[in-house]
Chains A and B, each alone.
Chain A
Amino acid sequence: MTGEHDNDFEQYQALDLKIAKALQIDVPELRMPELRDLDTAKVASLPARKRSMKPLWFAIAATVVLATSISLRTSDLFETHNSLAAEVLAHLDHEPRAFDNTRIPVSDARLARAVPASLAVYERGSSLITYAQHCIINGNDVPHLVIQGQHGPVTILLMPYEQVKEETPLDGDNVKGVILPFGKGSIAIIGDREELLEPIQKNVVNSVTWAT
């Protein structure tokens, strides 16, 4: 019996070697696409800090305090927010179909594929979901949904692995939005500049449950 088993194993091992060889197809020379320098100001702009009316000495003292006491903790956090905001807005450029103005809802199966139970549950309720896609942002799984708002499509990105400490406004070329802290992760909601996002935010937050 053991001999038979060993024989099978050897046969499969030999087959694997052949498969590996067969899979090693010739690779054409690398054609590097045109890689533009990143202009983060173009893809995401976070709100500018208001100009302080305090005197200069106060500003210097505050800077020193900031640098010595909290810089280690907050610099990482700010960079994370900034880069996540940039990633979220840049992601929209890659999903042109998400901006289709349609009234056709996605199927339950499509929604389930985009929002796997291992990540989250999304109760569609009365929302008209017209796009559902499983995406990757920052190397993490992100369900990407689109619902139809009063002024066109509204993008919802469920980011169970991206934590933000506070609401982060998003300001794109023709869109605005917010990244909301939500439990262990966050949710980005982006729509037309005219869109009233607050009621949509409430609705979305009530519709999402992260998988434990």
Chain B
Amino acid sequence: MNSSSAEGKRRQRFDSLVAVFHQDMYRFAAWLCRDKAIAEDVVQEALLRAWKSLDSLRDDAAAKHWLLTIVRRENARYFERRRLETVDIDNLTASQAALLAETPNRELDDLREAIFGLDDDYREPLVLQVLMGYSTNEIAEMMGLKQGAVLTRLHRARHKLKDSVAEA
């Protein structure tokens, strides 16, 4: 097989994986950083990194976990590089506010705002479980925590959201 055809196959494989997982990558990034523009940057960086190390992904069945791990790492890098302040929910930038763009469903808007207001420590495992479908064991491994700590955070996150929704 010549190198251009190998490169073509590699690109084809990459495009297929990105087509399947781009939405997950973006949503995960957006809920990690709470900013639409930054999420797009993080996904761009993650795609570049994934392209560079695609050959290390031996089993495409593990692609989702691999890509989300790269997104998580790129998000951490982004914030480390820029040393950004934490988000002040009462004083959002346009790009942060865009994540909370109103929908015709008031309850959904309130819940989205409540999720937005959760601490990173609570929001991340919640997104991984509810949106990405990971088990608490997998989340623990991904976040470098004990399973008990993940369970506690998930319980507290839900409790806070339940209270927020009840108050609204």
List residues of A whose CB falls within 8 A of some B CB.
11-12, 15-16, 18-28, 30-33, 35, 37-38, 83, 87, 90, 94, 97, 116, 118, 134-139
- Bound-state CA distance A60–B53 (Å) is 35
- Please indicate the chain B residues that have their CB under 8 angstroms from the CB of A16 in the complex: 130, 158
- Which of A18, A22, A83 lies in contact with B56, CB distance below 8 A? A83
CB-defined A-B contacts under 8 Å, sample of 20: A12-B158, A15-B165, A18-B111, A19-B158, A19-B161, A20-B130, A21-B108, A24-B131, A25-B31, A25-B112, A28-B26, A28-B36, A30-B19, A30-B22, A32-B18, A35-B47, A87-B56, A136-B70, A137-B56, A139-B56
Report the number of A-B residue pairs with Cβ-Cβ less than 8 Å: 95
Complex alpha-carbon distance, A22 and B108, angstroms: 6
Known contacts A23-B130, A28-B40; A87 and B111 CB within 8 A of each other:
no
Q: How large is the interface on B (under 10, 10 to 19, 20 to 34, 35 or more residues)?
A: 35 or more
Is the CB–CB distance between A23 and B115 below 8 Å? yes
Q: Is B104 an interface residue (CB 8 A)?
A: no
Contacts A12-B158, A25-B99, A116-B144; is A33 near B47 (CB within 8 Å)? Answer: yes
When distances are taken between beta carbons in the complex, the residues of chain B under 8 Å from A27 are 22-23, 26-27
* Interface check B9, CB cutoff 8 A: no
A15 touches B11 (CB 8 A): no
Taken together as a complex, chains A and B put the C-alpha atoms of A97 and B10 apart, in Å, by: 30
Let me know if B130 and A19 touch, CB within 8 A. Answer: yes
Contact among B73, B112, B130 for A136, CB-based, below 8 A:
B73
Tell me whether B52 and A38 are in contact (CB under 8 A): yes
Assuming the contacts A27-B27, A32-B18, A116-B144, asked whether A138 and B40 have C-beta atoms less than 8 A apart, the reply is: no
Chain B 90-129 interface residues, beta-carbon cutoff 8 Å to A: 99, 101, 107-108, 111-112, 115, 126-127
Q: Which of B55, B77, B111 contacts A22 (CB 8 A)?
A: B111
B residues near A19, Cβ cutoff 8 Å: 111, 115, 126, 130, 158, 161
